[in-house]
Amino acid sequence: MKKTPLNFWQLLNMSVGFFGIQFGWGLQMANMSAIFEYLGANAHQIPILWLAAPLTGLIVQPIIGNMSDNTWGRLGRRRPYFLIGAILGSIALVLMPHASALWMAAGLLWILDTSANISMEPFRAFVGDLLPKSQRTRGFAMQSLFIGLGAVIASALPWVLNNVFHIPSLGGHEGAIPLTVELSFYIGAAFFFGTVLWTVLTTEEYPPKNLAAFEKEQAERGGIISTFQEIWSAMQNIPSVMKQLAWVQCFTWFGMFCFFLYFPPAVAWNIFGATNQQSLLYNDGIEWAGICIAVYNAVCFIFSLLLPRLAKLTSRQLAHGFCLLCGAGGFISLAAIDNKYLLFLSMVGVGIAWASILTMPYAMLIGGLPSKRTGIYLGIFNFFIVLPQIAVSLGFGWVMDHWLDNNRLLAVVIGGGFLLVAAVLTQRVQLESVVDVPKPQMNLSEETAMKT
């Protein structure tokens, strides 16, 4: 089916839901490590408490990707999953500030991450579904633009509520979670649900060519067992460009996860000089880290507009490698900073890298995927994001305790070293365009399902 190019407003409508999803992610990234420390966690415990984030992605994304490949209903192919994830994620955001124990906060993080993954993975496949090849880089860049905008507002919101609207940071109940954080999570829940609903209501999807045949094949697929069979079949025929990008993604996310885990506490402890998590300096440091995260996401927002042109003038590989080098410089430079305002310079490099991380790997990958299995392969591609995060969650706590003396800032600097390796590996990626992958051996019911 020939796909009609979309105008600016159509691209905006199909991408705006990412604003809400990223608003939830932004609140999580800026505040969850601090919430864990407010509730009594030590630095070496933080990685394992974050295990929910990568593990839910590992399990949920390929399953949702395959299910959305084989779904059609009143809301279309991908949109039902957008909406289900938004409803569950909004509930988790409302409940999170009321966690009074570590196990409660960790459990709600599992729900929040599961919900965000249910919404997010089909959004990636949405670009391949609706846009012609000539617009796909622009489509992913538009998603990155909304990701940056959502994260800017979410990350800065507690600081804004405190310093602009003069809402006190002291909690409104017996728990230690600041009131500004509590209100930010409520606002995030409204944005998560509202923007995803906007995309669901304003964007139409292409129906299957033969709807009656598609519905018959849906009924014959065999449910969740068939889903796992199809995931296994797809994994046995991974396109070569995905194999090359897998190494880039692994080292990228070793580095980024170190940053996500430890940057806010590093600012509070290492830059602001907090001596305990109940001190005013600690709260000021966490809020300032939120401003820094907002700055790098603002850079991401702006640079997303320039990234397609940079890729066109050079190549996708060179553009992505350059951006990763900027991110590595941003991380490593933190070791020499003791002034909170100089942190903004480091965030420029991080923002450039983040814009490319959210765009270029997918732009390099999408042309090498078979159109009928885009969702499932994007879900599998997520393995190479979440597996390094799981490794960090399970092993980096020991590193922090035994090698780094719980130095949160040094953990972020080590993350910069991982980005340097990823930048080098990007230059080995050879792009390709395929019609389909080699057809695997399958039984009759599987073959019928794959004809969708």
Q: CB-based contacts of 312: which residues, under 8 Å, 6+ apart?
A: none
1 in a structural domain: no
157 in a structural domain: yes
Residue with tokens 């090698």: 403
Tokens of 74: 């009143």
pLDDT at 124: 75
CATH of the domain at 25: 1.20.1250.20
pLDDT at 439: 33
Task: Report CA 416 to chain centroid distance, whole Å.
Answer: 19
Nearest to 288 by CA among 316, 307, 309, 269: 269
442 in a structural domain: yes
173 in a structural domain: yes
79 in a structural domain: yes
2 in a structural domain: no
DSSP label of 169: S
- Dump pLDDT digits (tens) for 233-286: 888 889 999 999 999 999 999 999 999 999 999 999 999 999 888 788 898 999
Q: How far apart are CA 156 and CA 104, in angstroms?
A: 25
User: Residues in the chain with pLDDT < 50?
Assistant: 172-175, 434-452
Total structural domains within the chain = 1
Tokens of 274: 């907090």
pLDDT at 191: 96
> DSSP readout, 115-150?
HHHHHHHHHHHHHHHHS-GGGHHHHHHHHHHHHHHH
C-alpha to C-alpha distances, 358 to 14, 139, 148, nearest whole angstrom? 17, 11, 10
Q: How far apart are CA 152 and CA 195, in angstroms?
A: 16
- Dump pLDDT digits (tens) for 160-219: 999 999 988 765 444 468 889 999 999 999 999 999 999 999 998 877 776 666 666 666
Q: Domain range for residue 232?
A: 8-450
pLDDT at 151: 85
pLDDT at 213: 67
pLDDT at 269: 95
427 in a structural domain: yes
187 in a structural domain: yes
